[in-house]
Amino acid sequence: MLDAHIKYGGMGTMLVIKVSAESANQFGELVADPETHELLHYTEKPETFVSDLINCGVYIFTPDIFTAIEDVSVNREGRANIRRLSSFEALQSATRLIKCHFFKNFLRRA
């Protein structure tokens, strides 16, 4: 996973796995760009089906994540009266482009 993170770059890498649609809502579900594997949408334990890709809870981040988190905090304070942003929306806004790479087959190879 670390080798792939270094190879593809980006601020973060998240390990995910594909599961049945029936069990997916028990976990954090995500939608990724099919070509770039960039994270497009994430929701924690949704009430309705979003995706059959779930978060395994394993992450690798570069130190840039701390700046992005700080920027999210500043953006949220400044926008509190305009529109409440989800943490994911605020993080996207602060970093402009977060590349996360997904490894559906990682567990199969291990």
| Residues noted as catalytic | 45
* Type of residue numbered 81: N
Residue (of 48, 51, 43) closest to 104 by Cα position: 51
